[in-house]
Chain A
Amino acid sequence: MKIIACYNIKGGVGKTATAVNLAYLASHEGARTLVMDLDPQGAASFYFRVKPKIKGGLKTLMDGKQSLDELIKGTDYANLDLIPADFSFRNMDLFLEKAKNQRGNYENCSRILMSTMTLHFWIVRPVFH
């Protein structure tokens, strides 16, 4: 799997805009594409006019009980789907730190999605320690 990072520590330089537009171009070329908006600011979700809200919030996303597939929202564009942001994602770093084994669940879920999607775009918030 190839990972392409749109990376800059400065805010407002267009990281999210780049990722969202790359995702659109990929879907336009026929790739089944998923944008995972893991940034609690929810900018990518706003791009697609999807409410940045997940029922059950971060816990639902991370505990692996509910399939990630059920959280997906279709966008205005064919082949381009989104898992919207949620305000609770602001605690993601603390959540992962507290329950390191939860990360395993997260990876399991994304593996399930890999089988149906060709491309993933993850929009995350930088965390500094």
Chain B
Amino acid sequence: MNSAVRRMSFVLPVDTRMSDIKNKLTSCMHCEELHIHVLQRTYFDSFDWRIYCAGGVIEEESGNDGFTLRWREFVSNEIYGNTSINNTVRFAWDLPDCALRERLEPILEMRALLPLLRMNCKVHGLIVLNKDKKTVARLGIEENRILGSTKFKPRKLPAILYVESVKGYDTVFKEVLQVINQQLALKVDDQGMVQRAMAAVELQPGAYSSNLNLKLSAETPIAVVIRNILLRLFEIMKANEWGIRADLDSEFLHEFRVAVRRSRSALGQIRGVLPHSIWDQFSRKFAWLGEITGPTRDLDVYLLNFGAYKNSLPLPVRDDLDPLYYFLGKHRKIEHKKIITYLESARYRKMIAASLAYLKAPLSARSIFPNANRPVLDVANQRIWRMVRRVIREGETINASSPPEDLHELRKSCKKLRYLMEFFQSLYPSDGIKPLIKSLKLLQNQLGEYQDLHVQLAALATFSNQMKSESGATDRTFVAIDIILQTLEQRQSQVRKMFKARFATFAENKNRIAFSKLFKPKIQKEAHAHEDHCLLQH
């Protein structure tokens, strides 16, 4: 026997009068009305639907008892981690230490909670009593009304009747369900109130994703595919623009920049497809976008790392680092203002409009460019295979005395390979390509950490000098920064030592064979079978 609380919901027909339902219920069982609460509920998720992907939604409820925040499961409608709040919670770290925060932090990470919709709810609470007047089951009728916003008009939803068991009284729960079934003949709510509300205002959960999700067919000419790739990347950039402007969280800018980098990589890797003048224009545009968004992103990274910097210091000197936080925040504000100016500039708007116009224009039937009509699978195989060989070659030449620049070059090659594999992912069996992407990702993480530490060491030293001339930071702050620099140096040397093992895992024979099987162009396979020993070392 499982004594967990069980809940079952029913949809009431639109024209039902609440008093009729209550009268029917009270006439069939020993039932009392407990309360009528008028509440306002707001539902939240991150821009990229992280909570929805984890099976729930965040619900904020405000009524006579103040504000509470909780996790509501989409399918079962169960709630978890009811937490009283006094302040607006935008990030997981705004919550006090509690079960909800524990669940939310790894899912939400640095993303902000954004309101999806608001509802006015009238909740009629009823209880079923036994002969001792003890509560043995709970009933509730919820009348929900979606409040209007800039995105949608207000509308009324069908009322919901729910029954909740009380632990240890399962028989009563079954009896109540039987009464509802026989006396009211209601339809079981198999959708859930939140999903129904979202559907009513045409809100599509999971609508945004930073994944390319391109479904390619092997024979499509590469000229068509590259246009689709760039269009999709422009779509991602556009989708993130408003979040950058409103400064909701740092991921909007990050995803914008990733889309720019991917676009640059696509142009660099797939040549001979676009007219040179267009190719050149696109390259310059993307370079400009990378340039104008770089300083804010760098400062975002230091601000996101600030907690870790502080925690790496001995307890008595942690607060000495705070002036660095204010310094970073101040400069970020200045840089962010610059981005807004750029995004609102005529140059930016014209650039986007011209790019989209070009990419959406119909392709001429016969292209004069050498590679334009090649089937995408041929190009994908050739480009990915070439990049795999480059990554292996570059990685193998790195030894203990190699300069950091060599690791940086390898990191860039890995990124190019990753983007290529992601662009053309749908052309290959997912059980073949996904493990290879995962393996590459692990190598990238290690190279990324090394490079980030390298950049952070240089940047923190620069910030320290800037702070000396700009602000009235005390010597204690500079001592704290020096301690962090030492910690970062130690970590960098540890990461450097780990490179050999990490690269060996990526370049192991199993992966080399898998790469070769998946991407090595067929012609090359036959003509240069003897070259295999270069890559496959047994």
Assess whether B168 is interfacial by the CB under 8 Å rule. Answer: yes
Please report which residues of chain B, range 125-159, place their CB below 8 angstroms from some CB of chain A when the two chains form the complex.
127, 132-135
Assess whether A30 is interfacial by the CB under 8 Å rule. Answer: yes
Assess whether A86 is interfacial by the CB under 8 Å rule. Answer: no
Checking B83, B133, B135 against A75 with a beta-carbon cut-off of 8 angstroms, the contacting residue is B135
Q: Mark B232-260, 1 if CB is under 8 A from A, else 0.
A: 00000000000000000000000000000
Checking B1, B84, B133, B134 against A30 with a beta-carbon cut-off of 8 angstroms, the contacting residue is B84
B134 lies within 8 A of A49 (CB): yes
Please measure, in the bound complex, the distance between the C-alpha atom of A81 and the C-alpha atom of B455, giving whole angstroms.
Answer: 55
Q: How far is the CB of B316 from chain A (nearest CB, A)?
A: 28
Assess whether B167 is interfacial by the CB under 8 Å rule. Answer: yes
Please measure, in the bound complex, the distance between the C-alpha atom of A75 and the C-alpha atom of B5, giving whole angstroms.
Answer: 12
B82 lies within 8 A of A30 (CB): yes
Please measure, in the bound complex, the distance between the C-alpha atom of A69 and the C-alpha atom of B3, giving whole angstroms.
Answer: 7
Q: Which residue of B lies closest to A68 (CB)?
A: B3
A74 lies within 8 A of B135 (CB): yes
Which B residues are in CB contact (< 8 Å) with A50?
134
Please measure, in the bound complex, the distance between the C-alpha atom of A70 and the C-alpha atom of B167, giving whole angstroms.
Answer: 9
A48 lies within 8 A of B134 (CB): yes
B84 lies within 8 A of A81 (CB): no
Q: Is the interface of A mostly helix, strand, loop or mixed?
A: loop
Q: How far is the CB of B65 from chain A (nearest CB, A)?
A: 9
A81 lies within 8 A of B167 (CB): yes
B135 lies within 8 A of A73 (CB): no
B167 lies within 8 A of A73 (CB): yes
Assess whether B265 is interfacial by the CB under 8 Å rule. Answer: no
Assess whether B68 is interfacial by the CB under 8 Å rule. Answer: yes
Which B residues are in CB contact (< 8 Å) with A30?
68, 82-84
A72-B132 in contact given A30-B68, A30-B83, A30-B84 (Cβ < 8 Å): no
Q: Which residue of B lies closest to A73 (CB)?
A: B168
Chain A residues touching B, range: 10 to 19
A74 lies within 8 A of B83 (CB): no
A49-B169 in contact given A29-B84, A30-B68, A69-B3 (Cβ < 8 Å): no
Which of A29, A30, A79, A81 is packed against the most chain B CB atoms within 10 Å?
Answer: A30
Which of B2, B68, B84, B168 is packed against the most chain A CB atoms within 10 Å?
Answer: B168
B84 lies within 8 A of A74 (CB): no
Assess whether B166 is interfacial by the CB under 8 Å rule. Answer: yes
Which A residues are in CB contact (< 8 Å) with B165?
74
Please measure, in the bound complex, the distance between the C-alpha atom of A93 and the C-alpha atom of B82, giving whole angstroms.
Answer: 38
Which B residues are in CB contact (< 8 Å) with A71?
168
Q: How far is the CB of B27 from chain A (nearest CB, A)?
A: 23
Checking B84, B133, B168 against A72 with a beta-carbon cut-off of 8 angstroms, the contacting residue is B168
Q: Mark A50-69, 1 if CB is under 8 A from B, else 0.
A: 11000000000000000001
Q: Mark B58-84, 1 if CB is under 8 A from A, else 0.
A: 000000000010000000000000111
Please measure, in the bound complex, the distance between the C-alpha atom of A79 and the C-alpha atom of B127, giving whole angstroms.
Answer: 15
Please measure, in the bound complex, the distance between the C-alpha atom of A78 and the C-alpha atom of B168, giving whole angstroms.
Answer: 14
A70 lies within 8 A of B3 (CB): yes
Known: A72-B3, A72-B168; 20 extra A-B contacts, CB below 8 A, are A30-B68, A30-B82, A30-B83, A30-B84, A49-B133, A49-B134, A50-B134, A51-B132, A69-B2, A69-B3, A71-B168, A73-B166, A73-B168, A74-B5, A74-B135, A74-B166, A74-B169, A75-B135, A79-B82, A81-B167
Closest 9 pairs (CB-CB, A-B): A74-B166, A73-B168, A74-B167, A49-B134, A30-B82, A76-B135, A72-B167, A49-B132, A70-B1
Contacts A/B (CB < 8 Å), 19 sampled: A49-B132, A49-B134, A51-B132, A69-B3, A70-B3, A71-B168, A72-B3, A72-B167, A72-B168, A73-B169, A74-B5, A74-B135, A74-B166, A75-B135, A76-B127, A76-B134, A76-B135, A81-B167, A118-B99
